[in-house]
Amino acid sequence: MAEGKIDVLLVENSASTRMFLARLLESDPKIRVIRAVADGQSAIDYLDGSMPDVVLMDIHMPGLDGFETTKRIMETRPVPIVICSALASDTVFRSLAAGAIACIEKPTDRGHSNVEAVAGKLLQTVKLMSEVKVVRRRPRPRASAAPSPAVSSQGRPAKASVNIIGIGASTGGPPALQTILSGLPHDFPVPILVVQHIAPGFLSGMAAWLKQSTRLPVQVGSHGTLPMPGHVYLAPDDFHMGIDASGRIILASEPTESGLRPAVAFLFRSLAEVRGANALGVLLTGMGKDGAAELKLMKDRGARTIAQDRASSIVHGMPGQAIALGGATHVLPADQIAQALVSSVGKSRVAKEEKS
């Protein structure tokens, strides 16, 4: 980051779009496009001798697509990669799983009804992602050790029956969610509500992608729906999601929280107030502090709470804040969280049978 500027490698197949994006990026005095190339192989070749602060990359390109390019870069010369795409295709989410840290809607100079907002979001994302420290991607062995039992605030095994799970995530969240959901059995007995910060228009694509790797039904949440056991509900674009006193999903257009809607804070606060010790909260990788204080609120109400650990997080902002506040019952890598959920639900079943 020379002279205080963020150096960007732009990878875009279309020549006209490449020129437009280069002008857009350099309209920000903090950003400099150090090279603009048309395909993935050219990006890899450039990285052999230079290291930008951020790679802004198209997804559909001749030769190597965005996924294969991301995979090769992250295995050799890791750098923050932001996927810039007009469509929420499966390749976008495979690229995130391969190590890209964010996806953003592609602005164009032709007929885009909201070009200023989309362009502003792109510039903000590039600047924020330039601060993320990435590491070389290596296969991580799945853990076999069972997590310790959930413990109440008095140090005794928790006895409340878990009947709902809330998960919040932001930067780096989709692959962490995939890891967790793929590790749950088809007969998982409680519903899962998820708030994932993601670019508008990408949510349905993420739901379709997650369905490929989990045995659980995945859908976008609808107002008034009674959550079904073993179903996963994603908060829709621009709506907070929670549950009401009857246990049904509520979608709200209330003001943003920390500039976000949906906000993890809204979901966790709802679960704390309505379900208390019967809920379980999970806060995953993400920039900022959305949901951190509310995870602590859930714990204070007797709920089990899990924060993702630093080593497996792309950005440890949200879970790190929760840990600092004392809001995490457990701190676990992403690949141990599914086992912890199964264990917690299993323990709650036993506790319920003992009570009856």
Interval 72-105: pLDDT, tens: 999 999 999 999 998 888 899 999 999 999 999 9
Q: How far apart, in whole angstroms, are the C-alpha atoms of residue 300 and residue 303?
A: 7
Residue 233 is predicted with a pLDDT of 98
* Ranges of the chain with pLDDT below 50: 139-158, 348-356
Q: How far apart, in whole angstroms, are the C-alpha atoms of residue 77 and residue 82?
A: 15
Q: How far apart, in whole angstroms, are the C-alpha atoms of residue 86 and residue 71?
A: 21
Question: For residues 165 and 306, is the Cβ–Cβ distance under 8 A?
Answer: no
Place of tokens 């090769």: 72
Question: For residues 78 and 54, is the Cβ–Cβ distance under 8 A?
Answer: no
Q: How far apart, in whole angstroms, are the C-alpha atoms of residue 21 and residue 24?
A: 5
Residue 128 is predicted with a pLDDT of 92
Torsion angle in degrees (nearest 10) through CA of 17, 21, 24, 28: -170
Residue 45, phi then psi, degrees to nearest 5: -60, -40
Burial of residue 112, with CB atoms counted within 10 A of its CB: 0-12 exposed, 13-18 middle, 19 or more buried: middle
Identify the structural domains of the chain with CATH numbers, from first to last: 2-129 (3.40.50.2300), 164-355 (3.40.50.180)
Q: What is the DSSP string of 283-309?
A: E-S-SS-TTHHHHHHHHHTT-EEEEE-
Q: How far apart, in whole angstroms, are the C-alpha atoms of residue 317 and residue 325?
A: 12
Residues tagged active-site: 170, 197, 290
Residue 108 is predicted with a pLDDT of 76
Residue 251 is predicted with a pLDDT of 98
Residue 222 is predicted with a pLDDT of 97
Q: Is 16 helix (H, G, I), strand (E, B) or coil?
A: helix
Place of tokens 């997590």: 147
Per-residue buried b or exposed e for 242-263, using 16+ beta carbons within 10 Å of the residue's own CB: bbeeeeebbbeeeeebeebbbb
Q: Is 268 helix (H, G, I), strand (E, B) or coil?
A: helix
Residue 19, phi then psi, degrees to nearest 5: -65, -40
The total number of residues shown for the chain amounts to 356
* DSSP-assigned letter for residue 291: T
Per the structure block, which two tokens stand in for 314?
């792309």
Interstrand relation of 249-252 and 240-243 (parallel, antiparallel or unpaired): antiparallel
Average pLDDT, the chain: 89
Strand partners, 150: none
* Closest C-alpha among 28, 13, 256 to residue 126: 28
